[in-house]
Structure 1
């Protein structure tokens, strides 16, 4: 899947690079001119095909690379292995963040100052090098054998439990036998979500099993492992939803750029930080924290304690959600001062006026938001990979990204709701296009309250989840 993704991404990047040639795009157009030529059908087809291959390639790589990399570390259930896996997940996320930072700064600088042909050529060269390195090293990788589709297996559990719904379950020992595969470590299902246990009960061995001991109808009789796989997925959904709600705060970048554009962004008298570059501070904080945490803080604390010390997964995710809540409070305070300054300086009607207030007021938010991502996002990836079955490792590595996508939709809904409820006939909404007349500080305080409620929700979910596998290793 990763190899397929590499080739699709490379093809997409090459096609996108080809769009920089004069023959593959419409001629330059002056905005004041009325005779601008539109792109031809073939030119648009080339562009859309490039986007299509890039999307397919990203799906192949992102869904599998994290889980595949973790496979190389082995499967030992020990404190030392847990520390190695934590380090891997941290560095993986940190390197991805550093790559995004370089893309937002170095590559964009080349595109703006050297030209699009060279600017799009750089990612092509990088993709060629990364694809070659992957295929050259391929013989040395640990490769797990593919299994049957996990989606089919989970669907069979749902269908089987519905078909067997008339079976009565008892907490006492009965003569009912649970169906499990040969060599399985799970002989009986757990007591949680007991309704699903009906899918793995053998009612009549002569009818339910073939002569070689397999289920005659997989849609009526499932293995204990299949039942427990579905339970594991259902079990992590509440914690996943808490992380998804935390990601709503990350989706406010467009408002932040709008704020930063009105503030004093000069570092020196001659150098001014572009407003669009401020979100890259989050990426820089993530990368810096990964290095400090993994190479300085944890080794130093472990040396002082005389044993391996690190925060468990649920603690790290909880700290991330709490830091995200604090970051929104810091942003609300900064916006309150920015708006007051705009009104005092006489610019309530001009949302683009340059104010005498430093953009460094936004720095606490970006730093706290970066730390929140470093704790929560990395912790989420490792948590899902650890808690979900091995057959669902690719799903585990994409759940955090899926939550971020869902958070964008939730964020849009919140903005629309706030706009509708706070706008009156003679009153601007809190999220007005004129940020000096609106009340973005109130909006950020609303997000702070929602984030704190989400933190309480996470604590409840964490306690009800019980100990995860990593905590069991720590307690040995």
Structure 2
């Protein structure tokens, strides 16, 4: 792909890392603590607040797909990322205003009243107050859509060119460090910034979000002169649509001429009497056909990530419920908030990604005679850890239930919540293999015109998986007696064993897809990517 100017390389990493970390801290803290903000400051009922929070999280996962498509089609990564950070900054400014000015929030509940009580004890937000709050939420989702995975594509674009094998190695290494920076920022946001919001001041907490995001924007803009920016050539999806239309129009071509071709190859064939130029919706280039085929070829592998996301989302939410029933004391004066247990996933992700990049991958290369681990091998290891994590969760839960039964009706099970760390650490290690591996795979195998869309594919299966996890838990509650309101009388261990079975079946599905998959670089090295097939 042509580029506007020379540049790129590792010199761009500090600028991109500064942007990712500054924004990631603010984004993570605000999205994680949104449900608490709605309940405490907007008098929203708990269930309604949870539903709103789930919808926002889903939108924040789907928005990057739209942002990536806009980037690929029209503007390129850098302008979209810069606009996304600026929009996010505006979102945090609005959040700060809602926290700083009481007129933008409903009156606090009367002493002793719950958020679920009816007015006037707990007054709901007015239409204007709700509109201001949801404007901030919408800006948050839009900003995330422009930045989260376009930033990954922007970083990977800095290594375009050079010998192909070395470039792929740099891409994989960059994606590892990108996710390290991203998850490290999440850890900081979910601990330090959440503490400031909860225990010091919501206005101060959101104000810090404004500062970190502003610094991230400054870091991104400061690196402008160093970025390599590929020139966009219009929407790549139009070309893909033309292939489908052209192939369908030629469905009646002689079967003998198609014996050696797949159906989509018809789009690049010149039928008898057909003019080979000026008919883009009837005749496509071989390159355009191969672009669509490469996209379809990788979809089965992409679909295997949906069930990984389903199991992980279900496990994390259920782990918080487990923690609420367990002893979370660390010393005589401090108890770990139940939701903070999930920070273990983020810490394990950061440590595992760094360990893989600096120890596991080089050791693999030496043992394999100089061959680097492929993205599919990395993803496969992640699938295996997914199974292990669910199995460990089932074993830990079985012990918790035994302890709960032994102590009768005790509200708090005398079992340390630190028992939950093992399953969460395995989940973090799984994601450190699964997410960077999939991102590198899609970036490598998608057409060059769809690089930003490629990096947005993981959040798409994460979003689908999050909705499926909700449906899974609901189905379990309806079909079995495993999840009563009293978790100490539940069979949550059976839920985890079911998730482990789902993960194992999904691992088998992934292995079948991986074994039959052939890596294919759609860039034609001999310069024949615009060749047209003639009907023989």
> Would the TM-score normalized by the shorter structure come out above 0.5?
yes
Question: Displacement, 1:66?
Answer: 0.9
| Separation in structure 2 between the aligned mates of residue 111 and residue 133 of structure 1, nearest angstrom | 25
Asked whether the equivalents of residues 298 and 309 of structure 1 are also in contact (C-alpha less than 8 Å), the reply is no
Question: Displacement, 1:463?
Answer: 0.9
- Change in CA separation of 1:370 and 1:106 when aligned onto 2, cut-off 3 Å: same
Question: Displacement, 1:387?
Answer: 0.5
Aligned to 2:356: 293
| Separation in structure 2 between the aligned mates of residue 299 and residue 452 of structure 1, nearest angstrom | 28
Question: Displacement, 1:27?
Answer: 2.5
| Secondary structure class of the residue paired with 1:241 | helix
Q: Mark the runs of 5 or more structure 1 residues left unpaired by the alignment.
A: 174-189, 423-428, 471-476
- Change in CA separation of 1:18 and 1:301 when aligned onto 2, cut-off 3 Å: same
Note the 1:315-326 alignment, pairs <5 A.
Answer: 315-326=377-388
Note the 1:262-341 alignment, pairs <5 A.
Answer: 262-299=325-362, 310-341=372-403
Note the 1:64-213 alignment, pairs <5 A.
Answer: 64-170=150-256, 191=261, 194-204=262-272, 207-209=274-276
Q: Does residue 233 of structure 2 align to residue 233 of structure 1?
A: no
1:275-318 Cα shifts (integer Å, max 9, x gaps): 2111110100011112222234445666x669756421111101
Question: Displacement, 1:431?
Answer: 2.0
Aligned to 1:432: 484
Q: Mark the runs of 5 or more structure 2 residues left unpaired by the alignment.
A: 1-79, 114-118, 523-536
Aligned to 2:97: 18
- Change in CA separation of 1:306 and 1:170 when aligned onto 2, cut-off 3 Å: closer
- Change in CA separation of 1:266 and 1:40 when aligned onto 2, cut-off 3 Å: closer
Structure richer in helix, relative to its length: 2
Higher RCO (C-alpha 8 Å, min separation 6)? 2
| Separation in structure 1 between the aligned mates of residue 110 and residue 323 of structure 2, nearest angstrom | 29
1:127-146 Cα shifts (integer Å, max 9, x gaps): 11111222222122111011
Aligned to 2:505: 453
Question: Displacement, 1:78?
Answer: 3.7
Asked whether the equivalents of residues 80 and 308 of structure 1 are also in contact (C-alpha less than 8 Å), the reply is no
| Secondary structure class of the residue paired with 1:357 | strand
Give the TM-score normalised by the residue count of structure 1.
0.86
Question: Displacement, 1:124?
Answer: 0.7
- Change in CA separation of 1:41 and 1:266 when aligned onto 2, cut-off 3 Å: closer
Asked whether the equivalents of residues 387 and 469 of structure 1 are also in contact (C-alpha less than 8 Å), the reply is yes
| Secondary structure class of the residue paired with 2:106 | coil
Question: Displacement, 1:25?
Answer: 1.8
- Change in CA separation of 1:69 and 1:93 when aligned onto 2, cut-off 3 Å: same
Select which of 416, 438, 444 maps to 1:358.
416
Give the TM-score normalised by the residue count of structure 2.
0.77
- Change in CA separation of 1:269 and 1:311 when aligned onto 2, cut-off 3 Å: farther
| Secondary structure class of the residue paired with 1:279 | helix
- Change in CA separation of 1:450 and 1:306 when aligned onto 2, cut-off 3 Å: closer
| Separation in structure 1 between the aligned mates of residue 428 and residue 105 of structure 2, nearest angstrom | 39
Asked whether the equivalents of residues 388 and 396 of structure 1 are also in contact (C-alpha less than 8 Å), the reply is yes
| Separation in structure 2 between the aligned mates of residue 401 and residue 326 of structure 1, nearest angstrom | 23
Please say which structure displays the higher CA radius of gyration.
Answer: 1
CA RMSD of aligned residues (A): 2.3
Aligned to 1:187: none
How many residue pairs align between the two structures? 435
Q: Does residue 405 of structure 2 align to residue 343 of structure 1?
A: yes
